[in-house]
Amino acid sequence: MPEASIGSVPDVGSSHFLSRLPAFFGEYVALTGVRLKGMEMVECGLATHFVHSKHLASLENELSMMSSSDAKNKTKIFEIINKYANERTTKSENTISRLEIINKCFSRETVEDILSALETFATDRNEKWILDAIKSIKSTSPLCVKLALKLIREGRSQNLEHCLAREHLVVSNLLRRTVNDDFYEGPRAMLIDKDRKPQWSPSKLELVNEEMVNKCFSAIDDEDWQPLRLFERPNTDHIAMSKI
């Protein structure tokens, strides 16, 4: 989830599914942009299965050979997937095993408090993943990382449709430069000029006040803009669940 590093926020429903990860793991993923491996995705509940790339062709072939009647049977589909899914448990040193420290740090109320807690652990432990988390948070857009935290925290009490609508509203405000130009500065620095030196405004976390954050969650007074409206969708089975 690298959105804050390019001046944006978690979108496409991220504030819904990240907020439902174990404890405060969602905040960790959203604020640091950490990349998770396949089995880690399964362990934390972001994926139902992990199939190694060397087995994907065989899995695809077997699924394509199903009869039309079987193709509508979810149980049969999952039986085939389970034949190829990797059931290994994750190693003790991976991201999931860090959950205790993650919870102690990312349960804090503000981004500043989270960063302070991480720096305290970094002094005591000097572990690379903690130092990487600190570096990531400090390098991202100060406004967007605070927006991300608010989206995740509020997403815990909202359904998917509400989360999508909120994300759409925040991104619309970023596009309209309601507070700053970070939405454009990030892609310039990371994707266009590639100097990797975005000039965020404000440049520091402590300069981003509550009024700035709330402005990005405010309705847009423009007759050409419409809030996101979604069609009703059926309930889905086989939702990924955390295994930790």
Q: Which residues pair with 85 in a beta bridge?
A: 51
On whether both 62 and 102 belong to a single domain, the answer is no
On whether both 63 and 177 belong to a single domain, the answer is no
Distance separating alpha carbons of residues 118 and 188, to the nearest angstrom: 29
Q: Structure pTM?
A: 0.87
On whether both 141 and 58 belong to a single domain, the answer is no
Q: Answer yes or no: is 173 within a domain.
A: yes
Give residue 92's pLDDT: 47
Give residue 38's pLDDT: 86
Distance separating alpha carbons of residues 83 and 169, to the nearest angstrom: 42
CB atoms within 10 A of CB 138: 12
pLDDT tens figures, 47-105: 889 999 999 999 999 999 888 777 678 888 989 999 999 876 545 456 666 889 999 99
Strand ranges in the chain using DSSP code E only, listed in sequence order:
none
pLDDT tens figures, 27-41: 999 999 998 888 888
Q: Answer yes or no: is 132 within a domain.
A: yes
Structural domain boundaries enclosing 195: 3-39+92-215
On whether both 30 and 100 belong to a single domain, the answer is yes
On whether both 106 and 181 belong to a single domain, the answer is yes
Higher-scoring residue by pLDDT: 234, 173: 173
Give the residue-averaged pLDDT of 217-234: 86
Give residue 180's pLDDT: 96
pLDDT tens figures, 108-162: 999 999 999 999 999 988 899 999 999 999 999 999 999 999 999 999 999 999 9
Tell me if 138 sits within 8 A of 112, measured CB to CB. no
Q: Is 193 exposed, middle or buried (0-12, 13-18, 19+ CB in 10 A)?
A: exposed
* Token digits of residue 171: 């991104």
Residue 17 has pLDDT above 50, yes or no: yes
